[in-house]
Chain A
Amino acid sequence: MAAQMGREDVGSALTAERAREEANQVARTAAEIARAVEQIAEGSERQARSLDGTLNSSNQMTASLRETGMQAESVAASAEQLVSAVNQMAASVEQIAANTLALGSSVGQTAAAIKQALASIQSVASTSEEMATSAEQVTTSMNEMAASIKSVSGDTTSLAAAVDQSAASVEELTRSIQGTASNADDLSVAAEQTASSVNEMGASIEEVAAMAENLASSVEELSTSIEEMARSIQGVAQSSKRITEAASGAASSAEEMDRSIRSVASLAKQADETTTRVARDAEDGGAIVQKSIQGLSRVRDSMAQSATVMREMGKRATEINSIVDTINLIAERTNLLSLNASIEAARAGEAGRGFSVVAEEIRNLADRSARATADIAAIINALQEVTQEAVASSNDGLRVADDSSRLAEEGAIGLKKILTGVRETTQIVSQIARAAGEQLNAGQNVVSAITTTVNQSKEVTAATAEQARAVDTIVQAASHMRKTAQQVSQAMNEQGRAARELIKAAQSTTSIAAQVRRASSEQASAAGQIAQAVESMRRGATSTSRALAEQTAVSDQVSSEAGRLAVSIANINRAMKEQAEASAQITNAAESMRSQTDQIAKAMAEQTRAIRDMSDGARNVGKQINLITRANQAHSADSAAILNGLSDVRQITERNAQGARETLRGTESLLSRGQALSSIIDGLSSNGRPGKKARNKKKAKR
């Protein structure tokens, strides 16, 4: 029976050893977790810093976008709409800036609270160390007590009379075993609690890991959208460059147009002068045509007159002809008479000789007059022919004069038509001159507007270049963020591994606690057997009673140590309270941060709306600015996406911080439970020592 008890003692001791090892392992794992949590806290801080940088870059980019929007708005000259939209946006952006400042201070508060929490945790750690020293001191006291009890035990063999005292001791032992059993129960419960809290912590760590992965993916998305935005901004830069070129081309075209309008104006002036001259010439021509019409009618009259005269002359010539015929006839008859006279004279012979001479002379005269009349007849014939020709010519002239006067009248009508046409032309030309003058003014306005557009396009290009630089900064910050997120993911993976190990350790602790409880119940059952052995113990009762005094003194020391322990525990409790307060502050700060983030999100929504208004305004600017407007909308969307992503990232970071705080709290409770476990194990071992002694004694007996 004693042997059985010894085996059980040996088993209990072995179990206690293993429990201690496990507790130590738990403590180590907790320390690892604490390191990992610190790494996470650092990662979170770095992330917060890079987020701040990203926010600054985003704000810069937003300001740059706003500049671009303002440029585009002034280009479009839809100033009213755009100015109000930009004012809204400016107010919203100022709100964002104020919110960001508040966020910064809140983040500072958070950092201070976290520092406080760290200090508190450190004080907890130091208190724990103190507690550990106290526990060691307790252990030493217990050792002293054990030595004292050993001397008591040595005397027990010779002190059978002290059975009652021993019995009391046995009862005490029984109670102690019962206490041990209850402690074992407590231990088991504590181990289960530890296991469950470790499980919780593991779940929390898994959650944090998932969140870190989410964070990494959202950072990836963010980087992608930032790169897209960078490409889009480069596209905007090219577009604005092209716009500048197009505007320059338009400027040269407008100058050309101005020149051509000037030449049109001068041409219109020349045309005006020319038409005026033409009108004057046409009027002069009309007067001349009228005069020639009058002259032609006079010509016609005189021609008709001369024709009449010529006909009269022809008539006279005919009369002359008949007279000439008569003369001719007379001449012929005279010739005939003289010829017959000559014949008669010749017949009369010598007597008719004188008569013959006279007849000869008469015949000569008659012949001369006949010749003269023949000449006259020829002349008259020629005259009549000429008269006929003259009459024909006069008729022709009359016809020609009629034709001419008709043509001249037609010419006068044509000239009148020309005059009306010229008057209309003059009016049109003066209208053209007036329109050309107006066009000249408009063309100069166009030239100045296009020059303004060129300047503003250049400013847009410069602003876009600044935007591109800002986007480069953002891209760098995003890549930094990506690296940080990857580190956080890695740390989370390590933490998960550590948590899994911890879970394994907690499970083994639980099984060990079960073994302890089993051993304790076995011990309790063995207590009855121990009562039976009281008889043999009674002999050492006297020395036991003697030793009791020492033991009491040691117990006093123990109780004083316990008082110090209590004080330490009170300190721990206070520190824990402070820690709780700090946690509450952190929670508050996180709350305010969240609300500010919400405000930022709201302001960003307003900004988005304002930017959309601005885009609407910019859409009115015209086809040339369409490219920039579209790109600006894309930028606005990207900025909103980036800011949303940033707020997501911030939330995730906050949740990470919370998870880290939970992990810290879990680690703290784990530490305290490990301490409690080790103290319980120490108590167990000190209680188990009499059993060990008896066992040794039994060994010696054997």
Chain B
Amino acid sequence: MAEDQAQEQNASEPFILFELAGTTYGVPSRAVQQVELVEHITPVPNAPPAVEGVIFSRGQVIPAINLRVRFGFERALHDLRTRLVVVNAGSRVIGLIVDSAREFILIPPGAIQPPNETLAGLKGKYLEGIATLGERMILILSLEEVIDPAGVMATAPEGA
């Protein structure tokens, strides 16, 4: 039993969960460098709407992307729970501004299902899959697609 459990644990991958517009998203913990409070964002001139600016963290200048704007949701004011999730995707480091990020869970691979074809066909392949844990439904993001510079640049301003 313990072996099975351990095996299962070995097979399971840790994810960082965050909230955005009432929906729970998950990104793999190995892609996450750190999670920070959103404290000071320096605005960048002529930046795309989804890019709020840059922050200075652990000796690095990191661009901060408002994921609400990136996903076409309404912009929201920052508060105590607003988080900057700093991710490594490929060779790039990018900060994602989300409503909150408070959980670290293990999701077995069997709980993740590939996304529906109709959903996947729309606006690039943002979703890797959809995980169901009991009653909760978690959308697993494909970080490469989310932080793809062309996608970020192409992201129209709100209403566009």
Contacts and interface: CB of A to CB of B under 8 A. Distances in A.
Interface of A: 325, 328-329, 332-333, 335-336, 339-340, 342-343, 346-347, 359-360, 363, 367
A339 B104 contact: yes
A363 B17 CA distance: 14
Given A328-B80, A329-B80, A340-B35, 15 more contacts: A332-B37, A332-B80, A332-B81, A333-B37, A336-B35, A339-B16, A339-B103, A339-B104, A340-B34, A343-B32, A343-B33, A346-B29, A347-B30, A359-B104, A363-B102
A328 B37 CA distance: 13
A335 B33 CA distance: 16
Contacts of B102: 335, 339, 363, 367
A360 B32 CA distance: 17
Given A332-B81, A346-B14, A346-B30, A360 B35 contact: no
Q: Which 9 pairs between the two chains have the least Cβ-Cβ distance?
A: A342-B104, A346-B14, A346-B29, A339-B35, A335-B102, A340-B34, A332-B80, A343-B29, A343-B32
A336 B103 CA distance: 9
Contacts of B14: 342, 346
Contacts of A329: 80
A442 B83 CA distance: 111
Contacts of A328: 80
A382 B35 CA distance: 33
B101 interface: yes
B36 interface: yes
A698 to B, nearest CB: 211
Majority SS at the chain A contact face: helix
A328 B79 CA distance: 12
A273 B136 CA distance: 89
A343 B16 contact: yes
A277 B95 CA distance: 91
Contacts of B29: 342-343, 346-347
A364 to B, nearest CB: 11
A329 to B, nearest CB: 6
15 contacts: A325-B80, A332-B80, A333-B37, A336-B35, A340-B34, A342-B14, A342-B104, A343-B33, A343-B34, A343-B35, A343-B104, A346-B29, A346-B30, A347-B30, A363-B104
Contacts of A335: 102
A333 B35 CA distance: 11
Contacts of A367: 102
A401 B152 CA distance: 66
A472 B37 CA distance: 147
B107 to A, nearest CB: 13
Name, among A328, A336, A360, the residue most crowded by chain B CB atoms within 10 Å (CB to CB): A336
B2 to A, nearest CB: 14
Nearest to B29: A346
Nearest to A359: B104
Nearest to A333: B37
A336 B36 contact: yes
Contacts of B104: 339, 342-343, 346, 359-360, 363
Given A329-B80, A346-B14, A360-B104, A336 B30 contact: no
A332 B33 CA distance: 19
A329 B101 CA distance: 14
A336 B37 CA distance: 8
Contact of B101 (A333, A339, A359): A339
Contacts of B33: 343
Interface of B: 14, 16, 29-30, 32-37, 80-81, 83, 101-104
B127 to A, nearest CB: 22
A347 B16 CA distance: 13
Contacts of B35: 336, 339-340, 343
A676 B81 CA distance: 193
A374 B36 CA distance: 21
A363 B33 CA distance: 18
A562 B14 CA distance: 220
A332 B81 CA distance: 7
Contacts of B101: 339
A556 to B, nearest CB: 207
Contacts of B34: 340, 343
A381 B127 CA distance: 40
Contacts of B36: 336
A280 to B, nearest CB: 72
A433 B102 CA distance: 98
A369 to B, nearest CB: 13
B35 to A, nearest CB: 5
Contacts of A325: 80
A328 B104 CA distance: 20
Contacts of A333: 37
Nearest to B35: A339
Contacts of B81: 332
A144 B55 CA distance: 224
Contacts of A346: 14, 29-30, 104
A329 B80 CA distance: 7
Contacts of A339: 16, 35, 101-104
| Residue with the greatest number of chain B CB neighbours at <10 A, chosen from A325, A328, A343, A347 | A343
A343 B86 CA distance: 12
Nearest to A350: B10
A360 B103 CA distance: 9
A332 B80 CA distance: 8
Contacts of B30: 346-347
Contacts of B103: 339
A346 B105 CA distance: 11
A367 B37 CA distance: 16
Contact of B83 (A336, A343, A359, A363): A336
Contacts of A342: 14, 29, 104
Nearest to B80: A332
A602 B33 CA distance: 166
Contacts of A347: 29-30
A367 B33 CA distance: 22
B7 to A, nearest CB: 14
A347 B83 CA distance: 21
Nearest to A367: B102
A422 B30 CA distance: 99
Residue among A328, A332, A363 with max Cβ neighbours from chain B (10 Å): A332
A347 B104 CA distance: 13
A265 to B, nearest CB: 90
A235 B30 CA distance: 148
A216 to B, nearest CB: 148
A49 B81 CA distance: 157
A368 to B, nearest CB: 12
A335 B83 CA distance: 11
Contacts of A340: 34-35
A338 to B, nearest CB: 8
B125 to A, nearest CB: 25
A188 to B, nearest CB: 186
A367 B14 CA distance: 19
B153 to A, nearest CB: 29
A347 B33 CA distance: 10
A320 B80 CA distance: 18
B99 to A, nearest CB: 13
Contacts of B37: 332-333, 336
Nearest to A366: B102
Listed residue (A328, A346, A360, A363) with the most chain B CB atoms within 10 angstroms of its CB: A346
B63 to A, nearest CB: 20
Nearest to B37: A336
Nearest to A335: B102
Contacts of B16: 339, 343
Nearest to B102: A335
